[in-house]
Amino acid sequence: MNTRGPAAIREDHDPLKWLTGIGLGTLLAFIRWSDFRCPHCRQVFRRSYLPQEVVLGRGARTCPSCGRDFDDLSREWPELAFDEKTRYLFPTPVMAVIGGFVVCFLIVAYTVVQRPESVDWKFAKWTAISFTAVLACWSGMRIPGIVVSLRRARQKVS
């Protein structure tokens, strides 16, 4: 049973979706956003530019416009499924960077097999270390939100 009230309304906007498959227009098709609205007065309370963004929070909100309570679709860390936790730690843009790094790694691996003397191992090593450091920093920035969410979840149970 949902004790948070009616769920927020999510409206996805893809104004340039029709450009998908038309040369460079495909790049512009990624211009998209989602509006989250109060289910009572339809006032926008959050806008997201990330598809399937996971937001940590109590899940309940009072609309500043109409003053009524509703479920804002945020959840505490313990309530999230494994895939939602993964999406919180590594949202779509971060996964794109990881995918780019994997492609580069495969190109280097192929080059090593074909022409081992042509690979600059010092550069490859520092690139991998830099990539890992950036990923660790990103994840580290997300950890305080998880800690706060766990604290709120413990207080709710007590």
Residue 123, helix vs strand vs coil:
helix
The pTM for the full model equals: 0.76
82-89 helix and 121-157 helix, angle to the nearest 10 degrees:
120
Contact between residue 101 and residue 129 where contact means Cβ atoms under 8 Å apart: no
At residue 1, does pLDDT exceed 60? no
Contact between residue 37 and residue 61 where contact means Cβ atoms under 8 Å apart: no
At residue 39, does pLDDT exceed 80? yes
pLDDT tens digits along 53-109: 999 999 999 999 999 999 999 999 999 999 999 999 988 888 888 898 899 889 888
Q: Which residue has the tokens 């530019």?
A: 49
For 22-26, 53-57, 109-113, which range has the lowest pLDDT when averaged over its residues? 22-26
> What are the domain boundaries of the chain?
1-75, 79-158
What is the percent of the chain with per-residue pLDDT over 70, rounded to a whole number?
92
